[in-house]
């Protein structure tokens, strides 16, 4: 089982950038319509599932999510950057076009 430890997002709903460390048990996201709640949940879901398809309509420029795996007893960092034209070769092998998620095990 895995859980999100923290996240950082830039360009979400027009904001410059923000991040937060999450509680392992429960977290509540609230805000006005258009404040980025659904996009944030899509980013977190995408990191947990390693599926970038839900991010197609999410409005943000960069995101980073740290996940702790109880099974592997490690932390994993997933990031996506829509501002780069040409991702590093390692990212190109993992995913295509602007869907560039990196996978780092050493945190």
Please tell me which residue, 89 or 21, carries the higher pLDDT value. 21
For range 44-72, the mean pLDDT? 91
Q: List, for residues 88-104, the tens digit of each pLDDT value.
A: 554 444 443 334 444 44
For range 37-47, the mean pLDDT? 94
Quote the domain boundaries for residue 48.
2-104
- Per-residue pLDDT at 52: 87
Look up residue 22 and give its DSSP letter.
P
- pLDDT of 4 > 60? The answer is yes
Cα–Cα distance, 86 to 14 (Å, whole number): 24
Strand ranges across the sheet with 2-10:
18-21, 2-10, 62-69, 74-81, 101-104
pTM: 0.77
Range name among 36-45, 56-65, 72-81, 96-105 with the lowest pLDDT average: 96-105
How many domains, in total, are found in the chain? Answer: 1
């Amino acid at each position: 089982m895995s859980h999100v430890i923290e996240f950082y997002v830039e360009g979400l709903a027009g904001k410059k950038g923000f991040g937060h460390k999450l509680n392992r048990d429960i977290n509540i996201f609230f805000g006005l319509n258009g404040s980025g709640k659904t996009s944030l949940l899509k980013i977190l879901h995408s990191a947990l599932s390693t599926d970038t398809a839900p991010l197609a309509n999410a409005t943000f420029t960069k995101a980073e999510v740290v996940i702790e795996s109880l099974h592997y007893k490690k932390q994993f960092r997933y990031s996506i950057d829509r501002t780069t034209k040409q991702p590093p070769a390692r990212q190109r092998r993992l995913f295509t076009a602007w869907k560039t998620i990196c996978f780092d095990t050493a945190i």
